[in-house]
Amino acid sequence: MKILYVYAHPEPKSFNGALKDTALTALKEKRHEVKLSDLYAMNFNPVLNEGDFTERKKPDVFKPFFEAIQASKTGAFAPDIKEEMEKVKWADLLIFQFPIFFTFMPAIMKGWIDRVLAPGFGFNPVTNSAYDTGLFKGKSTMLVTTTGAPKEMYSEGGAHGDLNKHLESITHCIFEYMGMKVLPSHIIYEASSMSKERGAEEIERYRKRIFEL
Ligand SMILES: Cc1cc2nc3c(=O)[nH]c(=O)nc-3n(C[C@H](O)[C@H](O)[C@H](O)COP(=O)(O)O)c2cc1C
């Protein structure tokens, strides 16, 4: 399988860093082809702005949605966006790994989604290409994430509510919207206060999950 691994954590020596390294090793062992977008290491610019387009159809007023639809036809995206788009086109499976920041993904990854999975590229409301007719039909995706809070807090009836439900704004409203099949999320709760033993168990559990892909 061709796999794009999109990863966001600012510290290579973190638990997330160890999870990412484990996954990359396991994927190689299984002879998958892997491309990595390590967003902090790349210093990826997450801010969508006029510079995203090398050519403007409406130069007087900046309408990002309109320009993205046009650029999807002409290829007038900035080089850093195009590079990431090529990786997405190439991949059969996209894995997104990140620590939970305010019950969502870190801003650098949200910015990658804003700029790379642009209107006209993964979906196109103008041509009714979404969900069953999403432009990424045939691709799959999976979220891998860690929390500081315990599972009870992120369960139904817990103070925050079910984390899987919160993640639907990503899995359903972004990925399924674009036509992708969503694999069950791999969640590691309370990652910031784990014992070494539990950390090692969680790394092994993730290695097995990756092996079974
Ligand atoms: C800005 C910020 C926001 C955070 N928001 C949450 C949150 O909403 N819920 C939660 O459970 N943990 C939250 N955390 C904690 C991280 O998710 C946790 O420290 C991380 O998953 C642990 O992984 P690491 O050891 O690889 O950094 C937040 C951390 C930061 C820095």
Tell how far the Cα of 176 is from the centroid of ligand 1, in angstroms.
Answer: 25
Indicate if the pLDDT at residue 60 is higher than 90: yes
154 noted as active-site residue: yes
147 Cα–ligand 1 center, Å: 5
Q: pTM of the predicted model, to two decimals?
A: 0.98
Q: How far is the CA of 189 from the centre of ligand 1 (A)?
A: 10
Residue 79: other Cβ atoms inside 10 A? 8
Annotation marks residue 160 as catalytic: yes
Question: Does 5 participate in catalysis according to the annotation?
Answer: no
pLDDT of res. 55: 97
For 180, residues 6+ apart whose C-beta sits below 8 A from its C-beta are: 94, 134, 136, 137, 139, 140, 141
- pLDDT tens per residue, range 118-174: 999 989 988 999 999 999 999 999 999 999 999 999 999 999 999 999 999 999 999
Options 17, 40, 160, 166, the catalytic residue: 160
pLDDT, position 80: 98
Task: Tell me the domains of the chain and their CATH numbers.
Answer: 2-211 (3.40.50.360)
Q: What span, in angstroms and rounded, lies between the C-alpha atoms of 161 and 184? A: 18
Please pick, among 5, 9, 134, 154, the residue that the annotation labels catalytic: 154
* pLDDT, tens digit, 9 for 90 and up, residues 102-119: 999 999 999 999 999 999
